[in-house]
Every structure is written in structure tokens, then in C-alpha cells.
């Protein structure tokens, strides 16, 4: 009866020894990988109030707008990035409208003929004032 108990203790000891060796090998491999490959973040995080969202400095095209990606947060997209893109697009539209007005004025074209009240994507106006 004593020999059966010592055989079971030896097998438990052997399993524990294998487990300890496995953990030591994992720790050594993790340490070696950390030293060789670094911490995995080659660039520091962006400073506050900046964005990785990209638009060209001028000449924004439909492809540029289609390529815009926003950081997703818990309740949607990061507001500062969306605001930045909308501001940039607004500036680009103002610049283009100014250039168009200058060209029309230089050629004597009346630009009020082609104006659409509210624009194509305007919300319907509330005529009754409520």
C-alpha cells in the first residue's frame, strides 16, 4: 500500500515539474521576444486635441472624402475628428465658391440665375414658424 502512494506522489511531482519548466520556458520566450521586438508601439500616442484623420491641405476631392476614417468611441465617432473634417471641408467649399464668384465676375456672368434656395441637401424650412 505504501508503494502505491509513493508512485502517485512521484507522478504528481513529475507533472508539477513539467508545469514549472513550461512556465519558465514561456517566461524566457516572452522576455526574449520583448527584447528583440520591442514593446510593439513604434510611435508615441498622438497629443491631445490632434487627429490622425487626413485631408489634403487644398484641392479636396470626393476620393479624399471617401477615404476619411474616424476613430470610433463608445457613443459613435470622436467628435473632434468629425468637427475638424467638417471645418476643413467648409473652408474648401468657401475657397471654391470664392474662386467661382471671381471667375463669374471677371466674365460678367450673373451668378444669381443658378442659385437654388436652400441648396440640394437643405432641410425643409418650417414655413409656419413653429
Express each pLDDT in 83-130 by its tens digit. Answer: 888 888 888 888 888 899 899 999 988 866 554 444 444 445 555 555
What's the confidence (pLDDT) of residue 42? 65
Which ranges constitute the DSSP H helices of 38-78?
A: 62-66
Express each pLDDT in 55-95 by its tens digit. Answer: 777 777 788 887 887 777 777 878 888 888 888 888 888 88
What's the confidence (pLDDT) of residue 119? 44
Distance between CA atoms of 84 and 55, rounded to whole angstroms?
A: 10
Domain spans of the chain?
1-39, 47-115
Measured from the Cβ of residue 42, the count of other Cβ atoms closer than 10 Å reads 6
Query: SS3 breakdown of the chain: % helix, strand, coil, rounded to 5?
Result: 55, 5, 45
Amino acid at each position: 500500500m505504501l508503494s502505491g502512494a509513493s508512485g502517485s506522489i512521484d507522478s504528481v511531482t513529475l507533472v508539477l515539474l513539467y508545469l514549472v519548466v513550461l512556465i519558465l520556458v514561456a517566461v524566457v520566450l516572452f522576455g526574449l521576444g520583448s527584447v528583440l521586438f520591442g514593446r510593439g508601439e513604434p510611435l508615441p500616442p498622438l497629443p491631445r486635441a490632434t487627429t490622425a484623420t487626413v485631408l489634403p491641405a487644398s484641392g479636396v476631392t470626393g476620393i479624399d472624402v471617401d477615404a476619411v476614417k474616424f476613430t470610433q468611441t463608445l457613443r459613435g465617432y470622436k467628435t473632434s475628428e468629425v468637427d475638424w473634417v467638417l471645418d476643413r471641408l467648409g473652408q474648401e467649399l468657401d475657397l471654391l465658391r470664392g474662386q467661382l464668384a471671381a471667375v463669374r465676375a471677371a466674365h460678367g456672368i450673373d451668378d444669381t440665375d443658378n442659385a437654388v434656395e436652400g441648396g440640394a441637401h437643405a432641410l425643409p424650412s418650417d414655413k409656419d414658424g413653429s
